[in-house]
Amino acid sequence: MDIFVVDAFTDQHFKGNSAAIIPVTTFPDASLMQRIAAENNLSETAFIKPTGDNTYAIRWFSPLTEIDFCGHATLPSAFVLYQFYQLKGEITFTTEQVGTLTVKQATNGNIEMNFPCQPGEEVEPPATLLKGLSIAPIKVLKNRQAYIAVLPNEQAVHDVICDSELLKQLAPHDIVVTAQSSQYDFVSRYFWPANGGYEDPVTGSIHTALAPYWAQQLNKRELTAYQASQRGGVLHCKMIEDDRIIISGSAVLYLRGKVYL
User: Residues near 95 by Cβ (< 8 Å), separated by ≥ 6?
Assistant: 57, 58, 59, 69, 101
Classify strands 146-150 and 174-180 as parallel, antiparallel or unpaired.
parallel
DSSP string, 65-99: SEES--STTHHHHHHHHHHHS---S-EEEE-SSS-
Distances (CA, A) of 82 to 33, 87, 92, 110, 161: 23, 5, 13, 11, 39
**Catalytic residue set:** 44
Of the candidates 147, 125, 135, the one whose C-alpha atom is nearest the C-alpha of residue 213 is: 147
Distances (CA, A) of 258 to 63, 84, 85, 95: 19, 14, 16, 25
Number of H helices, E strands in the chain: 6, 18
Number of neighbours of residue 13 by Cβ within 10 angstroms: 11
